Structure formats: C-alpha cells, structure tokens
Amino acid sequence: MLAITQVKKGQTAVMTWLAPATDFNGTAAGLPALAEAHLQLYRSLVHQQAVPAFTLELCRLRLAQLHGTTAQWLPPLAAVEEDSAGALRQWPAHASFSDTDRACLDFAEVYAIDPGALSDEQADRVKVCVGERGLVVLIEALGVLDGALRLGLLWELDGEKA
C-alpha cells in the first residue's frame, strides 16, 4: 500500500513506508555505498558471459511471477519479447524456449521454493547447457534476483502492495 503524505498545500508526495521515494535508489538513498554495491552486483549479471542475459531475464520474470509481483522498478537484464514473457507460465511445453532456458527455469523454480530440494540431475542439466561456470552464475543470479524481488515487496517499491 502506498503512503501519500501532504507536503505542501496543494501538493502531494508518494512514498514507501521507509522513505519519500518509490524506487530502489530513492528509498536506499540513505545508504548510498551499500545500495551501489548491490546495484554493481546486479549489473554484473549483464556483463558475465557464462549464461545468456536473456535466460537470466526469463528467470527474473519467472521468479517475479512466483513472488506475485511484476517488479517494474527493477531494470531488465535483457529484452524479452512479449510473446516469450506471456508464455513463461507454460515454459515446459512452449516452443519459445531453448534447452538452456528450460534447464535454467526448471532450476529457478525449485530454487525459489527451497534450494535444498534441488536435485543433482537438475544441476547436471544446467551444466550440460552452460557448464560449471554457468551453473555458478545462475545460482548467484537467482540469489541476487530473489533478493531484489523480496526487497521490492518488503519496502513496497512502486506500490507493490497497491
């Protein structure tokens, strides 16, 4: 739920429960060094070369679905066409997705619920597609993305609970 505060006669400001802002940068402005460190790690997911950024973006969108959010405040890692994004709930059977996408989405779904429930076979399927380095990047990326989504919900960024 957004809090709307009267700041001047005739003017209103929209804010989260923590700060007079609705985005990550504005909300975390009180801790710029720590916020920037988080953003640097987030940006590094685009620059690594072990897993296609497109695949990581599909995982971000799927995690957001599982969290029940759109997380529009979070910058995308890659462009995903509307058709692919719309088909994401049917990824196991939909022709839009590559073997790499499927292996990573399968891993991401179980990770979101309980990383202790991931099987060696699921990890092996990811490694067949992107190697050991890719598995490490995927696991790191899922942690970063899941954390960002949780922060957005907890802080109520962009009216997440509206």
Partner 1 sequence: MSGKSRVNYRPEPSGNPVRDSALGLEPATLEPFLALNNAVWQAGPLPPADLELARLRNAHHVGCVFCKNVRYDLARADGLTEAEAQAAGSQRLETSLSGRQQLLLDYCDQYLRDPAGLAADLKAKLLATFSVEELLHLSLALAHFNAFSRCAVALGGMPDDMPVTEISLPA
Q: Which stretch binds partner 1 (CB under 8 A): 25-33, 56-64, 80-88, 91-99?
A: 25-33
Residue 48 has which token pair? 């690594």
Question: What is the enclosing helix (H) or strand (E) of 4?
Answer: strand 3-8
Q: Which two tokens stand for residue 102?
A: 């499927």
Which of 53, 80, 129, 151 touches partner 1 (CB under 8 A)? 151
Helix 120-155 to helix 99-113 angle (10° resolution) is: 60
The minimum distance between CB 107 and partner 1, in angstroms, equals 8
Given the complex with partner 1, which of 10 and 68 has the nearer CB atom?
68
- Write down the H helix ranges in the chain: 24-27, 32-47, 53-67, 82-86, 99-113, 120-155
Q: Which two tokens stand for residue 105?
A: 């989405």
Residue 128 contacts partner 1 per CB under 8 A: no
* Binding-site ranges for partner 1 (CB under 8 A): 17-19, 27-28, 30-31, 33-35, 37-38, 40-41, 43-45, 47-50, 67-69, 111, 115-116, 118-120, 123, 127, 132-133, 135-137, 139-140, 142-144, 146-148, 150-151, 153-156, 160-161
